[in-house]
Amino acid sequence: MGLGLFIAKTLLERSGATLSFSNARDIVGRSSSYRKPSGAIVEVSWPRSKIEKPQGALGVNQPLKI
C-alpha cells in the first residue's frame, strides 16, 4: 500500500481498467459462524472492447529498414 500500489493502479487505469477496493470483513459480515476472512479485496475489470481482437485486417505491414 504505497508507491507500488500507485504505480500498478496508474498503469491499469491507462490500459482502460477500472479498479475497486474493499475490505473482506465488509463483504462477509459479522454474523457468519465460520472463520471470517480478513484483508483487502481488489477487483480489476476491463471493458470488453479493450481486450478483444479487432475483426478484419490489423493494418498494412510496414517494410523493415535494414
What CA–CA distance (Å, rounded) separates 17 from 12? 5
- Angle CA 24–11–22, to nearest 5: 10
Position 58 confidence tier, pLDDT thresholds 50, 70, 90: low
Q: What is the pLDDT of residue 26?
A: 58
- Angle CA 63–65–66, to nearest 5: 130
Q: What is the pLDDT of residue 20?
A: 92
Position 36 confidence tier, pLDDT thresholds 50, 70, 90: low
Q: What is the pLDDT of residue 49?
A: 81
Interval 5-27: pLDDT, tens: 899 999 999 989 999 988 877 55
Residue of higher predicted confidence among 34 and 51? 51
Which amino acid is it at 48?
A: R
What CA–CA distance (Å, rounded) separates 49 from 41? 25
